[in-house]
Amino acid sequence: MLEVLSKIYGTGMEALLIGLAAAFTAQCIKFLLHLITKKEIDLTLFTTTGGMPSSHSAGVVGLAVPVGILTGFTSVDFALATGLALVVMYDAAGVRRAAGKQAACLNKIILDFYKHDVAQFGGRLKELLGHTPLQVFAGAIYGVCFALLAHYYWGILFS
């Protein structure tokens, strides 16, 4: 395993793995924050969207930073990765957040109008879809920090 990881250092696979690890660990942070604040275990937090920090933001920024380190911060590769990150973060704080608010309104309307019989409409709509700008920003900052530390320590271990 260590031999495989040493061969990945400095390649595009490093950037991909760091981005995926940043997203996964951000989901773990959501779980831990929920455990600390609500004093309950909610394993669904590992597979749901929304919440603090944004794992989508952490993942795409965690991908963009190593791309910049490996190919240069003025490269087309970094520009593409950064463009993708900006679209994902805008979507998380804008479109998906608005969709979550609409879902909450529709759920309330259905509950009020149909006297709590939401089963005939396929059940409640998912309300926690997007993020606040703070959650997106926190995810992006986490992604930068995670990527820089991961690349740095990966270099110490395998170069």
| pLDDT confidence of residue 3 | 79
Distances (CA, A) of 129 to 67, 93, 132: 28, 9, 10
| pLDDT confidence of residue 93 | 76
| pLDDT confidence of residue 103 | 67
pLDDT over 90 at 25, yes or no: yes
Asked whether the beta carbons of 122 and 110 are under 8 A apart, the reply is no
| pLDDT confidence of residue 7 | 86
| pLDDT confidence of residue 139 | 94
**Amino acid in the structure at residue 94:** G
Mean per-residue pLDDT, 124-151: 84
Which residue is associated with the tokens 């989901």? 27
At residue 107 the predicted structure's pLDDT band, cuts being 50, 70 and 90, is low
Domain ranges within the chain, ordered by starting residue: 2-94+130-158
Mean per-residue pLDDT, 42-58: 80
SS3 7: helix
At residue 156 the predicted structure's pLDDT band, cuts being 50, 70 and 90, is confident
At residue 95 the predicted structure's pLDDT band, cuts being 50, 70 and 90, is low
**Amino acid in the structure at residue 54:** S
pTM: 0.77
